[in-house]
Amino acid sequence: MNRQQTRVKMIRKVLITDHAHILLQQGLEKAGYLCDYQPEISYTQTLEIIPEYEGLVINSKILVDKNFIDKAPKLQFVARLGSGLEIIDLEYAKERQLKVFSSPEGNCDAVAEHALGFLLALAINLRQADAEMRQQVWNRETHRGWELGQKTVAIIGCGHTGGAFARKLKGLDMRVLGYDKYKKDYNRSFPHLIETNMEQIWAEADIVSLHLPLTAETKYAFDNQWFAQFEKNIILLNTARGQLIRNETLITQLDAGKIRAAGLDVFENEKTSTYSHHEQAQYQNISQRANVLSTPHIAGWTQESKIKLAQILLDKILSFFS
């Protein structure tokens, strides 16, 4: 019996700690696993019972760090509903021979469409116009927008979501620049995308869309010095991770006009119950601006993505352990 066959025999119980489409549980149970579906379980509660389980499915609330892994001696795999792996200690997981699955393919289209929605809404002043119409204020000239055609949009991070956003932009007659530090020749999949460097983006971009993971390298990488390099005042879209940019930086650049408008699905601290008075003031400063659209980290949150995330994880788990 080889190592992989031994692993299969060891996996009996799987804990699902967040809302997942039922097909994931059904598929695992059909394959012989026993699943506990507890989407409302807390981190503390998970820590208490994790020693019983060989498999774990998470979204974003469970931090799988060294302490967590050490309390899970039977654990054989962690499956992430989505793409962000910053909540998992990948090095220690590898040391423990703990298999990690993720499913960035499952919600990349949803994230890309959300970014496009931000862009369209900002271009036509949708938020302000709608608010005034609800008050029976009919003011056309105030809300004269701008067209996307011939504008230059820069995609920073050309993985699954950045690539999906590039595909969505194809029919809009926009010039699309792409930059990815760790990828080459990615424009083969997107002939309309110009593979370039940050110097060209700083010189030519009208719109910048971030599609990067949160890592030690990218955390707070987009600082005041970075924004100062742009020759134009830009539209900023962030559907990636809030801690790519500090709140202080956003406020400074919005005040200066270097960020002329923004679509933000993510924030530096997304646990609003933990906000200090300073953080609360920062959040109000950013989110209440007329030129900022904000949503509660729902860019990958669609009916279709819920199905795709579950199916992709199911396929990866069963493929690896079969």
Q: Please tell me the predicted confidence (pLDDT) of residue 291.
A: 96
Mean pLDDT across the chain: 94
Q: Please tell me the predicted confidence (pLDDT) of residue 192.
A: 85
What digits encode the pLDDT tens for the residues 273-321?
999 999 999 999 999 999 999 999 999 999 999 999 999 999 999 999 9
- Whether the per-residue pLDDT at 163 is higher than 80: the answer is yes
Cβ within 8 Å of residue 183, ≥6 positions away: 158, 159
The residue among 127, 11, 15, 5 whose CA lies nearest residue 64 is 15
- Angstrom distance (rounded) from CA 193 to CA 175: 8
Bridge partners of 234, per DSSP, are: 259
- Angstrom distance (rounded) from CA 89 to CA 111: 25
Q: Please tell me the predicted confidence (pLDDT) of residue 10.
A: 62
Confidence band for 251, pLDDT divided at 50, 70 and 90: very high
For residue 206, give the DSSP letter.
S
Query: Do the Cβ atoms of 207 and 234 come closer than 8 Å?
Result: yes
Token digits for 193?
Answer: 């995308």
Query: Do the Cβ atoms of 174 and 192 come closer than 8 Å?
Result: no
Q: How many CA atoms lie within 13 A of 1 on its CB side?
A: 8
Q: Please tell me the predicted confidence (pLDDT) of residue 200.
A: 98
Query: Do the Cβ atoms of 214 and 243 come closer than 8 Å?
Result: yes
Q: How many CA atoms lie within 13 A of 206 on its CB side?
A: 14
The residue among 115, 99, 110 whose CA lies nearest residue 313 is 99
Token digits for 230?
Answer: 């742009």
- Angstrom distance (rounded) from CA 79 to CA 221: 28
* Element housing 194 (H / E): strand 193-195
Longest dimension (CA), the chain: 75
Q: Please tell me the predicted confidence (pLDDT) of residue 8.
A: 47
Entry field: residues in the chain: 322
Query: Do the Cβ atoms of 316 and 101 come closer than 8 Å?
Result: yes
- Angstrom distance (rounded) from CA 224 to CA 114: 26
Q: How many CA atoms lie within 13 A of 268 on its CB side?
A: 21
Cβ within 8 Å of residue 96, ≥6 positions away: 69, 75
Q: How far is CA 138 from the centre of its chain?
A: 37
* Element housing 168 (H / E): helix 160-169
What digits encode the pLDDT tens for the residues 172-227?
999 999 999 998 887 777 778 999 999 999 999 999 999 999 999 999 999 999 99
Mean pLDDT of 5-10: 50
Domains of the chain plus CATH, in order, are 3-105+304-320 (3.40.50.720), 147-290 (3.40.50.720)
Confidence band for 85, pLDDT divided at 50, 70 and 90: very high
- Whether the per-residue pLDDT at 11 is higher than 90: the answer is no
Q: Please tell me the predicted confidence (pLDDT) of residue 184.
A: 81
In this structure, of 1-10, 65-74, 107-116, 217-226, the range with the lowest mean pLDDT score is: 1-10
pTM as predicted:
0.92
Q: Please tell me the predicted confidence (pLDDT) of residue 207.
A: 98
